[in-house]
Structure 1
Amino acid sequence: MNKLRTMLFISFKRLKKGRRLDSHNQIDEQYSLLLSEKLSKKIAVCYHIDCTKDVLHQLFFLFFNRRYAWSANDLQKKAEHDEAIAKVRRTLLAFFAKIEKSEQLVLINKDELLLLLYNATSYTWTSAKILHNPSEDFFVNLNHYHEGFARRIKKELVACLNREQLDIYLDDSVINQLLFMLVTAWKGLMDQLEASAPRVKAGIFFNTSFEHSQFLLNDISYHLKSRLDMTLITAKTISELRQQCQHVDMLITNLSMLPSPDCHIVSIQANLTPKDFENILSVYSEIVNANVTAS
């Protein structure tokens, strides 16, 4: 309901400024809509707009869109009678197959995702660019913690959509919106990404007590078990520390002035905080991304 209110408010503002959607050829003329005289007068007073048939089509364009599919079966039927729709459907399915194979993931709710992305292409006639787009921050974090996953699937999506001449509007903002919808509606995606995350060897070295160090090791392992193979560093000298650090990629310690061994160092507090986990993940991503670049 909130999305409907937002859509109507934006449409009223757009129409008041004389800006119209170039979507007349996608309007299903068999459907009509009439507003009560009282409501029509209120709209005229507030927005100085007469509620003609064309204006109502502009306001409620989603409901008059002849390409919009209400279910996976409806989409299948539309594709059988409209080659333009069939091409979009085939392209999206080819994209799904490509990322399942290349990323070794499973689209559990493939029909739902197909319907969602197809419908998004059916009601997009212009750029989706806004000044501050929260989805951009979302993808930055996703790429940071999942080794460029969003960049790779964006590249595949662009390649698939450009492979054929599709009767849809496309630019970078629309591509990003389609990706945002895909990633956020993909059931079980984060679990699959975590399960397939590269593992990094990490050592923990604290100058407190053996028990406290073991406690921290267990705590970090519990939260980051899919990413880190933890080991306890028991060195008594700098020489022993450097020797043991040769077998790990990352050293987690509370000693900020520790002589630099041959691995990445993450300084954390004796009592773990969310910021400490963020720092550990940041170094983890740096190591993994470096390995990907090197390979």
Structure 2
Amino acid sequence: MLRTLVRNPSLLVGFVITLTLALIAVLAPLLATHGVEQMDMVNRLQGPSAAHWLGTDNFGRDVWTRLAYGARLSMGVAAAAVAFSVLLGTIVGLVAGYFGGWVDMILMRITDIFLGFPALILAMAVVAIIGPGTVNLVIAMVLVFWTEYARVIRATTLSLRKRPYIDAARTGGASHLNIIFREILPNAYGPIIVLATLGFGTAIITESALSFLGFGVRPPAPTWGGTLSYGTRFLSQSPWLSFASGLTIMLACLGFNLLGDGLRDMLDPRGRQRAAGEAR
């Protein structure tokens, strides 16, 4: 594991960034220097100091504390959205790619309908219809992201279903479910893992954008996008509000993108062969 990380700088940097953010989210109660909703109107909009590492917002709340707790909410929403998107997209892609014919045509035309809408506009429309909130935000993001996984898994399934071991399983009397989940799915883990890792960064951006526009989790819940949103109101006098939250979002997306690129190289047989040749 250590040799793999050292040989792949992209994987190493992405792993360090994502691990750090995950630890901040998990250990937020221990790392927080103040209460997440603790107000100090006397020291509102103060700059970074020993008492407030990243300054205070317009209500005198500690920005570092809110970003640490915001990591829980923003990354939690992104993780839930990616997990359910992977589940839905994988099922649709496996069924469409394996059975083909009219099943494939119907499922892919439904996928095309969802792909026809801009992602952010579709998410905003869904939230506007079903209302804001954490659960509804996850539902909206799942409806936006599942199509990517369905397309990739369908393509992978189409390439796998004609392999000799699939024909051998059919000849041996294996059921369709057995072939799909025991023969095809284990060989599709690589694309799923890479796409999910890359999609995590996109999910964080989408959640932050929706929160920024007022379609995400309602205040006073601390989210990175929400902090960025009200920070723009005080750019002239307190630029650290938007800078801190924007930098956090950028680092999270950068970390997951680098991690996804590294995992793609590691899981790609040709990438492993190149890495082995370089090591020799």
> TM-score, normalization: structure 2?
0.25
> TM-score, normalization: structure 1?
0.24
Higher strand share: 1
